[in-house]
Structure 1
Amino acid sequence: MLTTRPRGTNDFLPQETEKWQLIEKILREICEEFDYHEIRIPIFEHTELFQRGVGETTDIVEKEMYTFMDRGKRSITLRPEGTASTARAYLEHKMSALPQPVKLYYMGPMFRYERPQAGRYRQFHQFGVEVFGSSDPGVDAEVIALAMAFYQRLGLTGLEVRLNSVGCPKCRPAHRQALQQFLKQDLEQLCPDCQGRYDRNPLRILDCKNPQCQKITAGAPTILHSLCPECVDHFAAVKEYLGMAGIQYQVDERLVRGLDYYTKTAFEVVVQEIGAQSAICGGGRYDGLMESLGGPPTPGVGFALGMERIFPTLATQGIELNPEKMLDVYLVAMEEEGQKKAFQLLMDLRKMGIKAEKDYMNRSMKAQMKAANRFQVKYVLIIGADELAKGTVMIRNMETSEQKEMMVADTLNFIEKAVK
């Protein structure tokens, strides 16, 4: 049926996009304050980028990617996340020559073939930040602080930062061996996905949402008990920096995140009020990502948040977004000559940067005044028969109901000063 959208996608109507624009504005303002700069990455990439960058044992690569062959017989994938693409751009454009660290942010649609449910869609929107070039644990704390600053500016409360370290290539082998030994006797009871992960990436078994797998892995050795001295020191420093930033956190030893590229720090921001899918933001450090893409060793850290998840969280907490009024002035006119004069005045106002609108449906003056009320404008400019004959405009202040009549040139000057 051509009058319905594909499953797992959304239409955002004007009254909704105004709220989206307000959220995007807040995100941009915070990024500017934190000295992060926007990057715009392609909607699709070569499939291998995500296979190597995200990890072949992840649910994203195994089950969820929108992959197709283009006309050149190349395997192309709609981006399921933003980090791999941003890392690719850093390498391709030799951004390592820039002053380090390079601090970037992006926002836009991502695509995953998932079962649609509340707050989870097949086309969804992410905002993310990535910092390349620094292994300083203070950067880990900074990206978490940026995420929390955004949520706090929206007025959200009851948020919890869950924090863990997933180690590094030095300390993971010991944990891998201990975890495999723990799971060995119950291997056949794990779900098929986790059975496949047992040899390839057993750490990902701890992230499985299957109740049977969660029961089996209860009490499994966590990587915190296997961390090398470098990872221990890094994790301690991250916690110290978070304390200095006034950010409370809870250490969650089972938190591993769903992507293979994470090393050391992993974190989520959760809010319990929105149901089972309680994580509204997640990220961590990925010091091995650049090498997996064929680049030189380059540390990195970042996060992504699902923008659709923001709205049910706001609604649950009773927070109403109030975008700025879209219009400053509404023009009301009668008869054909009055409509022409109003149109000329409308164009002049817009050239001055004033947000203005007029009636295009030949409504009565009463109906036009009702429209002006719906727009919640401060000023209405009226051009009736009397005003048209005298070359004037009646200016009505909609807040005070005061009216004054002015010549057209004086009207423009008055509105410019009043609005700006």
Structure 2
Amino acid sequence: MIRTTCLVYFICIPFSLFAVEPTNELQKEESESKPAGQKIRDRRIQIQNDFVVEPSPQPPPPNPSKEFSLKNENGAKYVTFYPGVQANLSDLKIVSSTGGRAVMMDDQRMDQNLNFLYDLKSPEWQMGENWGLFILNRNVNFRQSKQKITDVVATNSSTSEDSGSSNKSSPIKQYTNKDLGTETFGSYHMLLPAIYYGQKGNDKFRIGLGLGYSKVNIQGTADFNDGNGYFNNFLVFSSGSNLDEKIDNMGKYSLINNGNIDADPYRAYLLSNLSSGNHLEALGLYTLLKGDVNPKSIDPFLALFYSQLTSNNLNPLELYALLTLGIGRVNSSSNQAKSFYLFWEIPIGAINWRLGIGGPFYTQNGYKISLTTIEMSFYTPIEF
């Protein structure tokens, strides 16, 4: 009985040993029987099944705020500054209530008319695909050293058919720019709401028109007698019977014809009765202290003429006062001069090219004043 039981245990134990094999050994045998590529794929699948890590999404880096740039596709956020250079040709026209006129011109040499550009522009408000609005602050300095006068160069004879063989002659006139010693200078600052045709942005082509107001300041001298100021003063001074009458005639003629745009009350008082007391000397001192007469406009031959006719009885201040009456004095300013500006802008890389025409026009004390400027500028828009 004992032998039979041991035999049964001996037979069962080997069967139990061969019936269950370790998992590692099975996997080892399977892995040895598989090719290398299949091993790698199986290992990758096992890793993915065991542990899958999905990285958390990273937020995109914030875009820095762009408060300053040279050119922005959508234009400036606050204001655009236009630093650059501009070439201006300005004409100043002054017409008095009595018909006297003075047309002052630039030297018209490029090196004499170059100035710095420092205009400002508001953000652009686009009203449609091709229309928009902005506000322009334009600043201009000017100086005119020549004057446009009329020359009669010949006489043209013509025959009238109605009057038979009677001849009529008409003068042939031409306008020339001459240096009469007169000079005007100053500045104006325009504030213009402008409408333009073009797309938004300083890197886009546009053409526009602005209408607004300007602050204007003009000083200098001008001939209101079409280049005959000294000759007319010679006739007026010679018409008096005595020295006091000659001086009075000069004062009244200058008050009416030679420019009193700013209606200076003290100057008007002296000119209205120039021979009384020391009015002539006071006028010379007052004009010298104000410095609104260019010494270049004083004619030395006229000084010799006055000295001879007065037998050298005039002191230097009185003689200086008479000499300054030979030409008109321009001293004008306005804070609300009507203005216009027509412009055309073309972007060229980092810079812009602009061609414009415009200026202020206003009336002061019976004088009609208009200043027209043709401008060409090169500038780099700086946007804020």
Larger Rg: 2
**Fold shared, TM-score > 0.5 on shorter chain:** no
Q: Which has the higher strand share?
A: 2
User: Which fold has the larger relative contact order, with Cα–Cα distance below 8 Å and residues 6 or more apart in sequence?
Assistant: 2
Greater share of residues in helix: 1
